[in-house]
Amino acid sequence: MLLSRSAKKSNQSKNKSSKANNSASVNKRHELYNFEDYIQKTDFSGAKAVLENKRRNGDTRLETTLWIAYCNAHLGDYAEALKEYKKLFNKAAGNVQIPSFVGVLMGVCYFMLGMYEDAKTTVEKTRDKCDESYQKLATRILFHSSHKLDEEDALFNYHSELEDTLENQLSLASIHFMRTHYQEAIDLYKKLLGENSGYLALNVYVALCYYKMDFFDVSQEVLQVYLDENPDSAIACNLKASNYYRLFSAKHAEQELRRVSEISSPHYSYCRELINHNLCVFKNGEGAQQVLPPLVGVVPEALTNLAVYYLKNDEIEEAYNLMKDTEPQTPSEYSIKGTVYAMYGQRKGNKEFVRQAQQYFQVVGASSTECDTIPGRQAMASCFFLLKQFNDVLIYLNSIKMYFKDNDDFNYNYGQAKAAIGKWVEAEDALSRVQSELIKNEYVYLNTLMKAFIKNGKARKAFEVYMKLDAAHPNTFDLLNLLANDCYRSGQFLYAAKAFDVLERLEPTEELWNGKCGACIGIFQSVIAEQCDKDDLVECLMLLRNSDNPQAEYITQVITMWAEESGLIPSG
């Protein structure tokens, strides 16, 4: 709109040649004012539009190109910013003097695009030619590039070059954050806040550290200081939504984030990928196959969340292919890779993968920064789980149980660990809490739950679990065998007989008949001893009549005769 008004003024001045120069001068000043005004309001899209209009009207000045690159960078479009800087270097080849600091700014773009080697090389070429302020920026770029390239010696060398300035201290704090040294980062940020109380954005950084340490309530309290002054900040609202996700529910988080994502202002374009990523997570992976793959390498957590999506949907091969070449850097990456390797190793029967998984979990659980966090304790529990040291598993799981009352994965693992040490009542309670149909259809889950029911004298419930199975379930025969034999051993003969009856009809063998026969005799003895209901004897006779074994008729006659004489069933 401002541009069209400028054009209108210019058209009106055509009929008044005496005012042409003055009009052009006013127009130029007005355009410059608009550009600066947009920058002041951090409306970089508006500023860029003004600047590009100036360029289309023949403005080829160095300053204009630099400001366009500046706007692109602040809009998160580092590729376009880099193109602008490269244009300047092309001009330099034509004997046009280009400031050395442009090389440093190119290094910033390369770094933000993940091209760390290019960032390092470009900055090293130009750092010594720049003035002091750009030399300091160059040192920070080299400091961060060394971290990204895992060049520890260079990292410490550049660290030693950092002076005690606000920018350098912020840079150091960010390295602490990326190396998961969250408390060290918090200490630095709080020190800087004490010296610069008006820098409210530092509260966001502190809140993010607390979030990473799983202190979600503390994170939200600190974050609110910034939100009170900047309620529409996309980054802050995104962190608030993440806190809500952890503290309350995915629904609360999604509502908070949608409020921001629906704002059409270009101010939010730079974090659109982050918002889309988190909305996908809050919606339990809905649309993950479309949303997450393009964000791998853009949003740090996209890789691990895509792996989690594959695991939840039993796409173990896809999860393995995604993570196999990834060198984990953060605790969450170690834990996810450990989970992928454990499930892939168990699926393939490969003990080496399981061993590697155990090591990945141990790295996290034994870490001084993670050992007292919830994820750290989960990792250590997983490590001991793979080592089959279930008493140790339960030490860690019991310490975090209060946070996972309704978590299916936790209850599944907790139930298995309790079952492994013979705590069948607690195992039944934990396994019965699981709601996930995917888990409830797994053989290990079904096997452990049925065992728990039988061990707790609830053979009927175990039989009901079997009856609810899909006929095409691949483990029906194995589960029937479990039901038949465990019920027999525990003296719950009616359901043992029912299970053996089904097995015998599926595969008539002498062994299965003997099991069924023994169970029926066990029912008969229990009725005589008045330890079970007479109706069980009626069912027992029906089961015996299902068999073609010649012994069945004799046993049926004996039981029938006793039942008639005892008045349990009518004679004749």
pLDDT digits (tens, 9 = 90+) for 172-197: 999 998 887 889 999 999 999 999 88
Q: What is the residue whose two structure tokens read 């770029």?
A: 141
Q: Mean pLDDT per segment of 10 residues, for the chain of length 572 residues?
A: 31 40 44 69 85 86 88 88 84 65 89 89 86 86 88 86 85 88 92 89 94 90 92 86 88 82 56 83 86 84 90 90 88 92 92 94 88 89 94 95 90 96 96 92 94 96 92 88 94 92 88 90 86 80 82 84 73 54
Q: Which residues contact 112 (CB under 8 A, 6 or more apart)?
A: 73, 78
- Tell me which residue of 82, 35, 24, 87 sits closest to 61, measured CA to CA: 87
SS3 144: helix
249 in a domain, yes or no?
A: yes
Task: Report the CATH number at residue 249.
Answer: 1.25.40.10
18 in a domain, yes or no?
A: no
Residue 473: HSE in the Cβ half-sphere, 13 Å Cα cutoff: 19
Please say whether the beta carbons of 65 and 84 come within 8 A.
yes
Q: How much is the pLDDT for 8?
A: 34
Q: How many CB atoms lie within 10 A of CB 333?
A: 20
Which CA distances in Å does 434 have to 61, 374, 417? 67, 20, 15
Dist. CA 351–CA 353, nearest whole Å:
5
Q: What is the residue whose two structure tokens read 């602490």?
A: 176
233 in a domain, yes or no?
A: yes
241 in a domain, yes or no?
A: yes
Q: Which of 266, 284, 302 is the last residue of a domain?
A: 284
94 in a domain, yes or no?
A: no
Task: Tell me the H-state helices in 149-233.
Answer: 152-161, 166-178, 182-195, 201-212, 216-227
Which CA distances in Å does 232 have to 226, 349, 363? 10, 52, 39
364 in a domain, yes or no?
A: no
369 in a domain, yes or no?
A: no
Domain of residue 508, residue span: 491-572
DSSP-derived letter for residue 60 is -
- Tell me which residue of 399, 413, 328 sits closest to 363, measured CA to CA: 328
**Positive or negative: CA dihedral 545, 546, 550, 551:** negative
Dist. CA 382–CA 339, nearest whole Å:
9
* 483-495: b (≥16 Cβ within 10 Å) or e: bbebbbeeebbbb
Q: Which of 231, 254, 284 is the last residue of a domain?
A: 284
Number of domains the chain is built from: 2
Please say whether the beta carbons of 381 and 345 come within 8 A.
no
Please say whether the beta carbons of 104 and 112 come within 8 A.
no
Percentage of the residues of the chain whose pLDDT score is greater than 70: 90
Dist. CA 192–CA 309, nearest whole Å:
39
- pTM (global) more than 0.85: no
Task: Tell me the H-state helices in 388-472.
Answer: 390-400, 408-420, 424-432, 437-440, 443-455, 459-467
276 in a domain, yes or no?
A: yes
- Residue 140 tokens, joined: 């920070």
Dist. CA 139–CA 160, nearest whole Å:
10
- Residue 500 tokens, joined: 């053996």
Q: Which of 228, 251, 284 is the last residue of a domain?
A: 284
